[in-house]
Amino acid sequence: MDLDLRKLRYFVAVAEHGHFGRAADRLHIAQPVLSRQIRALEQELGCALLERTTRSVRLTPAGEQLQKDALDVLAAARAATRRVHSAARGAHRLVVGFVPGLSDSTAVRAFAHEHPGVEIELLR
């Protein structure tokens, strides 16, 4: 069985908002569509992910685990997409770690000016 990234995004939105209506609004989809997708995901996995009430939803233990894993999977998918686009452009990426207050922004700006094809990411 292959997990659908769209269903994982939908599930994470419901988990974060604790409410189908608010999650549907954030996702810009109709609430019944969202409900069907979550039900389909639960069916595919063979377990309940949410405890539903008339006012909200709560994650089951399986839902809590899926939320953690889904966040990692979605982050990896975004990173893969970014790397593919960078490779297609012939771009390179430089990640620089620094301690706040000790970074040399002049050096970073100079490097960026000399190497415009390099995407620079600063991490604290």
- Could you report the per-residue pLDDT of 62-103, keeping only the tens digit for each? 999 999 999 999 999 998 998 888 778 766 777 777 776 666
Query: Considering the chain, what is the average pLDDT of its residues?
Result: 88
The CA-atom distances, in angstroms, between 57 and each of 48, 50, 98 are 12, 6, 41
Reading the block at residue 120, the tokens are 């620079």
CATH of domain 5-85: 1.10.10.10
- Dist CA 58 CA 12 (whole Å): 12
> What predicted TM-score, i.e. pTM, was given to this entire model?
0.72
List the domain boundaries for the chain.
5-85, 91-123
